A and B are shown apart, each in its own frame.
Chain A
Amino acid sequence: MTGHYCDLSNSDVFLTIGSNNVECHPVSAKWVQKAHDKGATWIVVDPRFTRTAACADIYSPIRAGTDIAFFGGMAKYILDNDLWQKEYVRNYTNAAYLLDPGFDFDVKTGMFSGWNEQTKSYEFSTWGYQVDETIPADASPTGAFAWTTEDGVPEFTPPGNKVPKKDMSLEDPQCIFQIFKKHYERYDLDTVSAVCGISVETLELVYKTFGSTGAPDKAGTIMYALGQTQHHYGVQNTRAMGVIQLLLGNIGLAGGGLNALRGEPNVQGSTDMGLLVHNTPGYLAWPTVAKYPNLRTWLDLETSSGGFYTNKPKLFISQLKEWFGSNATLQNDYGYDWLPKLGSDNDVTTMSTFELMNTGFIKGYFLWGQNPAQSTANTKFAREAMSKLDWMVAIDIVETETASFWRAPDLDPATIDTEVFLLPAALPFEKAGTVVNSGRWLQWRYKAVEPFDQAKPDLEICDLLWKEIVKLYKDEGGANPEPILNIKWDYDIDGKIDPRAVAQALNGYVIEGKKLLTTFGDLKADGSTASAMWIYAGFYANNDAPLDPSEQKVGARGREDKGGLALFQQWSWAWPLNRRVLYNRASADVDGKPWDSSRSLVNWTGDAWDNNDVADFVASRVVDGAPTPVAPNNNAFFMNWDQIGRLMIHSLDMPVPEHYEPFESPTDNALNGRENSPMIRFADKESVKKGTREEYPIAVTTYSVVEHWQSGSQTRHCPALVEAMPHQFVEVPEKLAEERGIKNGDLCRVFNNRGSIHVHAFVTPRLHTLLINGKEVHQIGLPHHWGWASMYSTGDVVNDLAPNVGDPGSYIPEYKAFLVDIEKA
């Protein structure tokens, strides 16, 4: 979330799209309701008339997978009807920047300029700005890169800063504003209506209502979840929403923003932590063989020419110091070469790992509370792939479908040689530690009870394993033991591994005297500071009580609310630096005056900043040893090198979001000549088994219910929840039910080339038969929480049906829109 849950109470208009927040993030509804009670309008766009829709003022159905068409139409409507926030767009976005003259989009082929058929990817030379000049990096004593000359800082070449050409009148045909406008000319109401299956009247009402937040003193928010991300263009769905919020001047405002309601209690934390192929903790690039063969190339390429990331080497070197401790020195590039480097021969994100297990390339598998035999796309294939593993170690609280994949109903244990270890994990309240919610609040969980019987916290399990492996390598040697033996592993307190010691490492410290840091501004690239996770600097920084979480910001329980905007600045701590609303500089005009004085996050009084939130911009600078206020400028997005929001940008698959159809779609693409995005991942894999709309005419979307959670490996073990939602079902629109002779409660078979499941029918008017490009399309809905492994509630695995194709940036599978057929069993 760019904001946080309580901030929802500050909105004028809500758009819930790709989320069923009343059911799936119930507490969010509490804050929406507070605004609703004050007169805010709530719009819900969803393939199903969900419980969220039932609370809304305006509901619109939509065909799953057509969000870019919907938002493209909204962009056109906002521009055509002059609803955009002009001062905001002109000053805080790249609307005025001139784009490379080679930029082009060919509607006939559905391709942008720059496609390279050999590499099957885009080259970005035509997607960039026209540049006036490049200002060389300034390493003089007063320059942004002065610190690079200090002792201990590794050598590298800071980049020069490009100065793009602009036309502040926004009239130049080559300026982004004009190109953007032209791009969406095709997205007129009639076309969008036909693509999405929404009537023109409803579309107009939704566009007009949300577009009203373009008024400078209005705040509109978008709440989304996996309904937007689980598509092979999921990243572009998200960008489309971001672009709308920039056009309407909603990013950075109290009650504004783009709010991802994330799917797991600490998935914000696990994303922050770099439990992902391409990141180190804190969103830095993981080293690769091809791009970053040594520390110098990493620093050269990753250091930004402008904005905050000019400081990136400080973050990375401090991370290496936390990782390797005193073994990391300037002479050995702070241990850079001990980090494993990604190769370019194999993709190793989740879906690809199953292909690699299937061929025997991956032989061992650790699972930390995740259940892919139930939850990944094309689970049947994933289970078959797992059966080729030599060994698996599942750390969990129950026997999940994954831990017991060898006894899946469709496999024969006698033929599977995989050795599976199942280690009992402690529950969240059987251990202590931090969780990060969607609003980026870090909160401490105290240990309330001892773990059951022999269960252990995951950290302790890591510790036991690590110490044993280190011992083996010390005693026996083996494939390069150096990276293992040089790691610093010193998180014991009183002789036992302790999360408080890890919290200190995450927070960061000055190595000399282990002084905890209150800000990442104090990190150095000279090896004198250590920090596992720069964005958490300050959450656990009280040097007077390093062993007492309740005396740390992470344990703060102050109820004060300075400014009355439900920021709750004294309750827990939000990364970064306890900032509650990201990009809050944009909540005020170029002179620093809030667009709406009743929702003031930051305010320039003429000689100082009077802020209710922690400034997300350079608000003060040390001049002659004293902090001095910095007068307002338009650098409202200072994490970007160009320090502005981007309507168009270099990105992997599209410089501006363009509609393509789902991998398995019930219709042709009416907006351009290409069916799927050219960058779709894994569509060519044999395991995918694409079905055609002739074979499988029914569109399906998968979703969650309030009583269960994800793969059900917690909730299907709680009798009260099982009683409330005892078994699986398929939602079938009335018209389809009539056509197929299906009655409410009938057992049905839902199937495609990948799998076949049996579920009971729930015939309902909540799902609609839509008119798509002139033809009727039925959509059905499948909740996805069931599997065979539970004492209380079992069912078939819905994800056996989902296609294992995905987005080129996020590698997230397309669970939300694919094709099946349904029949009475």
Chain B
Amino acid sequence: METTRRGFLQVSGLAVFAGLTYSLSTQTKAFASEVDPDWKLIRTEESTSVCCYCSGGCGLVISVRDGELINIEGDSDHPINEGGLCSKGASLFQLRNVIDPETREVIPNPNRVTRPLVRRAGASDWEELSWDDAIEEIARRVKDTRDATFVEKDKGVIANRCDGIASLGGAQLHSEDQYGVVKTMRGLGLVAIDNQARV
């Protein structure tokens, strides 16, 4: 099976990796006719990705059917991992979906947080809130704290610094996300900015 799959990916060539995640459906259907209809990757669309654990950068092939994740495996064309994955990489699927021990159905990983939550002062649990409310409430708190702790001049020098807020993290994010974080946080005037590189 492995060889066939790899062969397929190579034949489809760049189309597979054209960046349009769902561009593959036609080729996949054509392929489907050649294989056992019970094969788990039948009628899937594929895209490539990179593992999110160590800094090895192992390549992944991600298979999706009807918008839902079906499989993640090592990318056999990838020069670093040549198709292999370690225990963490091999279980990436479970970050999104797990098997319900009772029903044996694939279900969303119940540990995931999927809605904005707030824990109010003194409370012992979370409350759900809408994105709009969450953003509005957070922006208000950020502004209040910034306004109260802003240092426009420090020892006679223009400082334009917000002392009262800190930001931590980013090493798990994409570089584009990171630029978003650095630009918004620095933009507010934060200087207490660090990430996992400090660990």
Contact = CB atoms under 8 A, between A and B. Distances in A.
Nearest to A466: B184
* Interface residue range, chain B: 35 or more
A547 to B, nearest CB: 9
A280 B148 CA distance: 26
Interface stretch (A71-79, A167-175, A209-217, A423-431): A423-431
Given A366-B168, A568-B79, A27 B56 contact: yes
A393 B17 CA distance: 36
A340 B182 contact: no
B26 interface: no
Contact of B137 (A265, A349, A421): A421
Interface string B87-130: 11011101110110000000011111111111111111010000
25 contacts: A25-B56, A264-B55, A266-B174, A269-B175, A275-B169, A276-B198, A340-B191, A343-B159, A364-B145, A366-B166, A368-B170, A370-B195, A376-B199, A391-B141, A393-B138, A429-B69, A458-B173, A462-B181, A465-B138, A465-B139, A466-B184, A505-B179, A708-B88, A710-B196, A813-B199
Contact of B69 (A265, A404, A448): A448
Interface in B39-97: 47-60, 62, 64, 67-69, 72, 77-82, 84, 86-88, 90-92, 94-96
Given A266-B174, A350-B168, A813-B199, A479 B146 contact: yes
A414 B124 contact: yes
B116 A424 contact: yes
Given A340-B190, A717-B95, 5 more contacts: A26-B54, A290-B155, A369-B169, A370-B168, A391-B145
A364 B165 contact: yes
B139 A506 contact: no
A563 B46 CA distance: 32
Contact of B168 (A262, A353, A483, A791): A353
A479 B147 contact: yes
Contacts of A276: 193-195, 197-198
Contacts of A459: 174, 176-177, 180
The 5 residue pairs across chains A and B that have the minimum distance between CB atoms: A433-B174, A437-B57, A370-B169, A479-B150, A453-B114
Contacts of A441: 57, 80
Contact of B79 (A261, A364, A549, A566): A566
B35 interface: no
A273 B179 contact: yes
B122 A414 contact: yes
Contact of A717 (B18, B109, B179): B109
A318 interface: no
Contacts of B146: 478-479
A528 B197 CA distance: 33
Given A27-B81, A293-B157, A459-B174, A428 B49 contact: yes
* Interface residue range, chain A: 35 or more
B53 A709 contact: yes
A26 B136 CA distance: 44
B57 A555 contact: no
A533 B176 CA distance: 11
A438 B57 contact: yes
A789 to B, nearest CB: 9
Contact of B21 (A446, A499, A724): A446
Interface of B (DSSP majority class): mixed
B115 A453 contact: yes
A419 B119 contact: yes
Interface of B: 14, 17-19, 21, 47-60, 62, 64, 67-69, 72, 77-82, 84, 86-88, 90-92, 94-96, 98-99, 108-124, 126, 131, 134-143, 145-152, 154-155, 157-199
Contacts of A790: 111
A341 B116 CA distance: 33
A587 B101 CA distance: 57
Contacts of A436: 175
A455 B80 contact: no
A424 B113 contact: yes
A718 B91 contact: yes
B115 A454 contact: yes
Contacts of B148: 363, 479
Nearest to B91: A720
A365 B168 contact: yes
Nearest to A353: B166
Interface in A682-708: 706-708
B174 A434 contact: yes
Contacts of A116: none
Contact of B116 (A446, A454, A482): A454
B183 A489 contact: yes
A289 B154 contact: yes
A557 interface: yes
Given A337-B160, A390-B145, A421-B116, A437 B56 contact: yes
